[in-house]
Amino acid sequence: MLMKKEYNHKNLIQTIGLGVLSLLLAALYLSLCFNRNIWTDEAFTVDLLNSYHSFGEIAAYTATDVHPPLYYWILKCFTDVFGVRLLLLKLLSVLPMFLLFLFGGLYVKKRFGFRTALLFILFTAAIPCSMEYAVQVRMYAWCMLFVTGAGFAAFDAYETGRIRSFLLLTLCGVCAAYSHYFAFAAILWIHGFLFLSLLVRFFRTKENRAGAGKALLFWLGTVLLSLLCYAPWMPYFAKQLKGVSASYWIPEITGDVMFDYLRWPFASDYPGVVILCQCLFAAAFLVLLVRLCVRHTKEDAAAFSALLVPVLVVLTGIVMSRLIRPVFIIRYVMPSIPLLCFFAAVVFSGFPKSAYAMLLIFLVFLTGLDYRCTYYDEYQATYTDRTLDFLVENCREDDLIVYNYRIYDFIYQCYFDSEQLRYIEDVDFGAESGRMWFLRTVYQPAPDASMLAENGWSMQYVGDFGIEQNEFWIYQLDRE
Amino acid sequence: MAAFLLAGLAAAFFVCRNGSLGRNVMHACATTDQTFQTGPLTGAANAVQQFRADYGHLTSLELIFRKPDNASGTVRVAVYDENGTMYAETYRELASLRSDVYESFALNAELIPGNLYYFMVEAFGEGENAPALVYRPLILDRIDENQVFYYDGAAIGGASGACRYLYRLPLTKLQIGCYTAFCLFAALCFGSFVCLGIDWVKALLHKKSEVLLRSGSNE
């Protein structure tokens, strides 16, 4: 009785500990949201939410793009209430990360123990690629939640055979498939592993064959239900596939590109981090292989399957790129990254206490380094704030903001009033009379000095500015 | 195990002292998009750029050349301070350089941030096919950072060599903590495996000796 009480007390403390850690990490992520910095794809999201006002319109528009619509629908639910605000959109990417830390951690604790749960949360937070994508106004954070949820639900379904685990697998799987196609690929592989495991158990088991058969039937039901839920999007998927086959922006997958896949999840401004992380994951892989040869536990089998999911997603991307045209870029593996972290967590949780403690310290420092890099990227890497502050202070309502870098057109539109914004070649210098702020990007068209002089314009350099990755010089144009 | 811990600490000390894991920062001077080129670079007619060091360790310098396809010989890049003391020099074969792209010259010079230095570019043995260095007009408010550009001893006003400076920053406390923790983790893991191996061998030997003893007592 006393032991049970002690166990419950310890269990409670561990649960609270994981909750607090999840909150702390979410707060860390939250602190990266208070800026006006967005990149091209994020600008696309903002533009879409500003331009299309109903769920149907959003679905119709995304059907002409390359991603499924669920992420935009989720945002829509919130922007309908609070309006399209950049901070809100960023917070909506931190939310799934918090849920991933919290529920992922708690589930892993329940099935694999506290040590594994702690490592899972820290690995997911510390792996350099995760912090960058967790605060972007894109679907990756939600996909990570859905794919990880599906992975854990599949393990639970195998372990317990409970119908609610199969239902959770269906829900997470469908959500993932409606969010990103390579999250969909991860879900297909998870279903494949679950089916294989259930099939092997069915043929091996002698005592509870009926139970194993029932689990297989549940799995079949899950697949059918998922297909049913996905059926409405299938025609659009086919249309998108056709569109992508005709043209797409992703470069060809060469040997160098594939080699870079090994570096990408750990890429950091700090050169040592990549090597250390590569060593760590390579060591985890070797240890797991040895353990699988020596003994065969369900934990190790789960870790191996979890490792295979991102690997197979990448292989799927490569094969599809060979068959259709280049459609895969390494960040599309992002939804499966928490499963990679889960694999490492399972492997290292069995290590001796002192090594385990040192690994925790390493991961805390790694999170710190990762935070510094992301903080720099979000707050200091661009001139966005400086530019916006300058123009808010100096640009009058009747001034024009003229730019010469056409492909940044829709990014400028996220920041400036479209009435004031004008492409350089659309400006009639003979007719205009007000003041202009010229955002001059190097190597792009600029007005001829003699033409300006003829029309009575003077051009004065103001300073170095920029929006997102686009750096430019601002010139003030006045008509004398 | 203590021995492995010490080994881990020693490894961490070595890694952190080495400094090669420091963060790299690239600095490009603010120039316009117009490009010009110097006259032919030779041992006598060289190009010199005055610059202010942003950080302490200048890893490399990237420069843009223009050269005929059949150019041969060697390009020398050296860094000096105002007193003419040389801090670093490096050579590259002309044949290995491409035109109109940044080419890297490893220097690893230890400089004092904020101080003025010069880098000099000259070419040897090029015969009649000498290379030229590309330079660009400076943005007016940035004239201070890449102060004067000279070719053949004459200053070219408002110009800067088309160059980029790659600096390596010293390790931060976070980095030192991270690398130290990793080294200790690796050492402890290795130590644990060695201890496991020793225990396994001991158990094996113990088993064997027991078998031998038993067989001896049976005889």
Q: Tens of pLDDT along chain A (480 residues)?
A: 666 777 788 889 999 999 999 999 999 999 999 988 888 888 889 888 888 778 889 998 888 888 899 999 999 999 988 888 889 999 999 999 999 999 999 999 999 999 999 999 999 999 998 888 888 899 999 999 999 999 999 999 999 989 999 999 999 999 999 999 999 999 999 999 999 999 998 888 877 778 888 999 999 999 999 999 999 999 988 888 888 777 777 888 888 889 999 999 998 888 888 999 999 999 999 999 999 988 888 899 999 999 999 999 999 999 998 888 888 999 999 999 999 999 999 999 989 888 999 999 999 999 999 999 999 888 888 888 889 999 989 988 888 999 998 888 888 888 888 888 989 888 888 887 789 999 988 778 888 888 888 888 888 888 888 888 788 889 999 887
3-class DSSP state of A68: coil
Q: Are A367 and A341 in contact (CB under 8 A)?
A: no
Q: Are B11 and B176 in contact (CB under 8 A)?
A: no
How far apart (Å, rounded) are the C-alpha atoms in residues B79 and B119? 4
**B179 to chain A: which residues are within 8 Å by CB?**
272, 276
Tokens of A415: 């920041």
How far apart (Å, rounded) are the C-alpha atoms in residues B208 and B146? 76
3-state secondary structure chain B: CHHHHHHHHHHHHHHHHHCCCCCEEEEECCECCCCEECCCCCCCCCEEEEEECCCCEEEEEEEEEECCCCCCCEEEEEEEECCCCEEEEEEEEHHHCCECCEEEEEEEEECCCCCEEEEEEEEECCCCCCCEEEEEEECHHHCCCCCCEEECCEEECCEEECEEEEEECCCCHHHHHHHHHHHHHHHHHHHHHHHHHHHHHHHHHHHHHHHHHHHHHHC
- pLDDT tens-digit map of A405-464: 888 888 888 888 888 898 988 888 888 778 999 998 877 888 888 888 888 888 888 888
Asked if A473 and B189 come within 8 Å (Cβ–Cβ), the reply is no
Q: Are A262 and A327 in contact (CB under 8 A)?
A: no
Nearest to B140 among A269, A280, A461 (CB): A461
Entry field: residues in chain A: 480
**B21 to chain A: which residues are within 8 Å by CB?**
270-272
Closest chain A C-alpha to B135 CA, distance in angstroms: 16
Tokens of B179: 């690398």
B193 close to A (CB below 8 A): no
B196 close to A (CB below 8 A): no
Terminal Cα-to-Cα distance of chain B (whole angstroms): 42
A406 close to B (CB below 8 A): no
Asked if B181 and A362 come within 8 Å (Cβ–Cβ), the reply is yes
Tokens of B148: 């004067």
Distances (CA, A) of A296 to A289, A293, A342, B115, B143: 10, 7, 18, 63, 68
A249 close to B (CB below 8 A): no
Phi then psi for residue A392, to 5 deg, are -60, -40
Cβ within 8 Å of A, B 42-81: none
Asked if B15 and A272 come within 8 Å (Cβ–Cβ), the reply is yes
B30 close to A (CB below 8 A): yes
B144 close to A (CB below 8 A): no
Asked if B23 and A270 come within 8 Å (Cβ–Cβ), the reply is yes
State pTM to two decimals: 0.85
Distances (CA, A) of A217 to A162, A214, A347, B128: 12, 5, 32, 82
| DSSP tag of A67 | S
**Tokens 């659009």 belong to residue:** A236
Closest chain B C-alpha to A428 CA, distance in angstroms: 25
Q: What angle do CA B68, B73, B78 make, to 5 degrees?
A: 105
